[in-house]
Structure 1
Amino acid sequence: MEPPTGERLAARTLPHPHLTPSTVAGRRPYRSLSPWLQASPLSLTSRRRFRGLHSDGSMEKRGRVAVVVLGDIGRSPRMQYHALSLAQQAHLEVDIVANGGSDPHMAVKENQSIHLHIMTSVNLQGLSKISSPLALLLKAAVHFIILVWFLCLKIPRPDVFVVQNPPSVPTLAAVKLSSWLRRSTFIIDWHNFGYTLLGLSHGRGHIIVKIYHWFEKYFGRMADGSLCVTKAMQHELAQNWGIKATVLYDEPPEFFHPASLEEKHELFSRLENNICHPNGIRDCVTTAQRGPESGAAIHWLDQSSDTLFSTQIGNEIFLKASRPALVVSSTSWTPDEDFGILLEAAVMYDRRVAAALNEDDSVEEEKIWTDISNGKQYLYPRLLFIITGKGPERRKYEEQIKKLNLRRVAFRTMWLLAEDYPLLLGSADLGVSLHTSSSGLDLPMKVVDMFGCGLPVCAVSFSCITELVEVEKNGLLFSTSSELADEFMMLFKGFPERCDTLNSLRDGALATASSARWSTEWETHALPLISELISGKQR
């Protein structure tokens, strides 16, 4: 699974009218058991156990779980969801031991049953002067000592450790030792295989990767229980690792939903400067912003009642007919996501639209932008790509974007507030996933979020992606930039009113969102395992 971003968490707690039982067939009714998520009822036995009651009503010690992440907790949404479900649904005390960086979701920080323990940051830059294998060994040793210190001395004794993998080194060894010293059990939540991620930079045949693989497999077998993200990974663990794992699919929490017109307008107003006033960029968005809907010519937006996509007249909000199509992609800007595919597809779309409209190079881009600003609608719309996330290759691709010089395509890169990320997905017209998976066995969590917002997706095709994306139902798959450009042409023809294929995929994405949510998935698959381990420790 791709390294997740902290921005994908948000504090949206109220159900949206587009997702009520009356408007989406089969939608589970909303309940008010939790201010963060919709929790389905636990069994009476589980409630008594986790609330600290014996079956005869006498008090017992409340169960406790430690959630362990050797990484930025703010960019580990699945582990935050675990913590919230453990506290909200299982009524357990939860200690999160993780690195700092991005802020976790507000619900995590405010929940009185969840206790954050941020590990000490150690400056290891000096290790870069040492040969690579020795530097990696020293770095792992330092992290091992810090992690064991926190797990054994800084937190109360848990009944169960729940640890994210990867990273495997030294996390699994540290948690295994700590669970033995503290007489606890531990569960591994397999998001991916760490050795395959290391293989991206060193190659699968490198001795370091082989050692990492052995380490991950050896300590992985020592866990008392395992969760994983796909059936393909479950099969791999069973057949080749000797590990029995329970599939716990990523599912969107309730705050991922289609945005209302009011929410869209408010979001676009907040993002106005980032979208329409970028430094040093002049394109089809910055120069063709307003149409006759606002009664203005070409100039910068200066009224909160008018945005690139919407306008407010009195109490009424309208989406502009000449608005660009909004395409969203969330990326970690790492080698396992080839952003160049999206750039090439955007260039192809720009050229193919010009050819379809019989435009030659003599047609000035200024004339096109002026026509758009005056309300002229073309068969194919402008595309605005908003790319969210942080990562090492972001600057490189931003420099490439500046050199594209496209007529009908614009790009914006940004890091959103936690509250705004699901709103952006709920306001967009199409999502794009470039995740290919280092192992071929995990699924992109960003696609889960997009479906939760009723957003159809174009995703890179790889071995197990069909466990999530149903072709021509809730999304499309592609393998090359040309295929992605073809999909843009097909989906956006006639936008915004006459794009039947896009609307059909949106209906499919909404149906996918209505079929499952995190709280139900967690209670069905994770809770029984955790309950069994805690019950065994308390007997």
Structure 2
Amino acid sequence: MCLKRVCVVVLGDFERSPRMKYHCLSLTKLNCHVDVVAYSETKLSDDIVDNQLIHLHPIDSYSSFSNNFPRLIGYFVKTLIQSLVLLFTLFSIEKPNFLLLQNPPSIPTIPVVWLYSLIRGVKFVIDWHNYGHTILALTLRANHPLVKICRWCEGFFGSRAFHNFCVSQSMANDLKRTWGIKCDVFYDRPTEIFSPLQPESRHKFLLKMAKKFPQFRGKEVNKSKFYEIASSGDIVTKKSRPFILISSTSWTEDEDFSILLNALDNYDTQISTERAPLPALICVITGKGPLKSYYEEILSKKRWKKVTTILPWLEPEDYPKMVAAADIGVCLHTSSSGLDLPMKIIDMFGSCVPVLAIHYKCLNELVRDGVNGKTFKNSEELANLLRNLLLPPRSKLSNMRDNLNSTRNKFSWDSEWNRKVKPLFS
């Protein structure tokens, strides 16, 4: 039986923070009341809305507020307002037994939550997804005063937390080495909503998507490019069907999508000029973020013959199905710290979709080369991987999918959470 109440703080859009969503849902299985203090910019999924033990307390992001001031002044004013709003919101809800904080962002959340927990006698827990100071350094410089302040806040207040979790062993080692912070590794895992689709379900879903996106539509009404109904009534895969490549992104600086676009240039050229027996590709790139319009403009100028792209924002119930409908995934997340592991890969693995991921340190904790995916360093290597895996007979791709399927039951959120996190709150 869980203690009465847990407060979860996410200074970001809650629906786009899957790890914290999953924490909340797992806590309710222990009969905990969960108060969530977060931005609410995206429609919430039904599992959150319908859960009577989860109470959302939305706060404003003030994302455009700093535009009214010079950059540095605007940052401090915005931080001050966020601090006051966050502190007021925390004091307005019933006192929790635990407060679980997502980091990053680090400022103002870590010092504000530490102050609140000190005043009210609440056990303060940090879930380290990455470092705030390394993300800030992407737009500033590593020796900028704000980056140094952020780094100090993470070390000083992080070492005063009641407990710490993080997403990789490499991050746990770094936290211990840099600040003396002892941290339990809790690897991201997919929930049950990320699972493979059987042919009939995949066919129905792609027909649904064909009504929204013509790229999926067959030549005849109510038919897709992927399946046909045999005389026996069975659903049969079309021999000439296109393959679906999926990639999700927050369209930020730590993901260089020009790598994928250059690889697709190469792939389309191979089909068109070399007449290689490669399938046509439909690339589904999901997500929202600041650089989306920049890449949309680039894509609008492409004249590919066998490669098409769509950049949808999918409803919460459609995203897991789109992942499961894909043949192969691509991840371009490089990590500002080099210490976090991409949640999007976790989702793909849960759906038994092999992944091609750009290499960085610690990725080998998740992607096992040739077993569940492959890594690459540049667009040329990515293009070669696509060619090698999608050329008939595609046995390497099938083997990786089979490997993912055989280990899927051991690779679940519930089993990992119950083993690593549940004891703290029980």
Q: Which residue of 2 aligns with 1:339?
A: 257
Deviation at 1:511, TM superposition (A): 3.1
CA distance in 2, matches of 1:147, 1:446: 29
2:338 to 409, 428, 440: 440
Q: Which residue of 1 aligns with 2:173?
A: 235
Q: Do the aligned partners of 1:452 and 1:512 also contact (CA within 8 Å) in 2?
A: no
Q: Do the aligned partners of 2:191 and 2:414 also contact (CA within 8 Å) in 1?
A: yes
Q: Do the aligned partners of 1:232 and 1:464 also contact (CA within 8 Å) in 2?
A: yes
Deviations 1:422-443 (A, max 9, x none): 1111111100000000000000
Deviation at 1:127, TM superposition (A): 3.0
Q: Which has the larger radius of gyration?
A: 1
CA distance in 1, matches of 2:62, 2:19: 27
Deviation at 1:111, TM superposition (A): 1.4
Q: Tell me the TM-score normalised to structure 1 length.
A: 0.76
CA distance in 2, matches of 1:191, 1:440: 11
Q: Which residue of 2 aligns with 1:282?
A: none
Q: Which residue of 2 aligns with 1:509?
A: 404
1:142-157 → structure 2 map (5 Å cutoff):
142-153=81-92, 155-157=93-95
Q: Which residue of 2 aligns with 1:15?
A: none
Deviation at 1:123, TM superposition (A): 4.8
Change (3 A) 1:335 1:122: closer
Deviations 1:402-455 (A, max 9, x none): 212112111111011111111111111100000000000000000000000000
Q: Which residue of 1 aligns with 2:420?
A: 525
Q: What letter is aligned with 1:106?
A: D
2:75 to 125, 136, 142: 136
Q: Which residue of 1 aligns with 2:207?
A: 269
Deviations 1:180-235 (A, max 9, x none): 22211110000000000000000212121111111221111111100000000000
1:329 to 243, 247, 252: 247
CA distance in 2, matches of 1:123, 1:521: 35
Q: Which residue of 1 aligns with 2:293?
A: 395
Q: Which residue of 2 aligns with 1:68?
A: 9
CA distance in 2, matches of 1:206, 1:467: 31
Deviations 1:340-396 (A, max 9, x none): 000000001112233432xxxxxxxxxxxxxxxxxxxx7211111111111111111
Deviation at 1:317, TM superposition (A): 2.1
1:47-196 → structure 2 map (5 Å cutoff):
47=1, 50=2, 62-88=3-29, 90-119=30-59, 121=60, 123=62, 125-153=64-92, 155-196=93-134
Q: Do the aligned partners of 1:165 and 1:194 also contact (CA within 8 Å) in 2?
A: yes
2:236 to 309, 314, 318: 318
1:488 to 386, 390, 410: 386
Q: Tell me the TM-score normalised to structure 2 length.
A: 0.96
Aligned residues: 425
Q: What letter is aligned with 2:15?
A: G
Q: Do the aligned partners of 1:433 and 1:460 also contact (CA within 8 Å) in 2?
A: yes
1:241-320 → structure 2 map (5 Å cutoff):
241-276=179-214, 285=215, 290=218, 299=219, 301-303=220-222, 306-312=223-229, 315-320=233-238
Q: What letter is aligned with 2:419?
A: T
Which structure has the higher relative contact order (CA within 8 Å, separation 6+)?
A: 1
Query: Secondary structure in 2 aligned to 1:476?
Result: strand
Deviations 1:490-514 (A, max 9, x none): 00002xxx21111011112223423
Q: Do the aligned partners of 2:39 and 2:61 also contact (CA within 8 Å) in 1?
A: no
Q: Which residue of 2 aligns with 1:452?
A: 350
Change (3 A) 1:192 1:124: closer
| Residue 376 of structure 2 is aligned to residue 478 of structure 1 | yes
Q: Do the aligned partners of 2:103 and 2:131 also contact (CA within 8 Å) in 1?
A: yes
Query: Secondary structure in 2 aligned to 1:188?
Result: strand
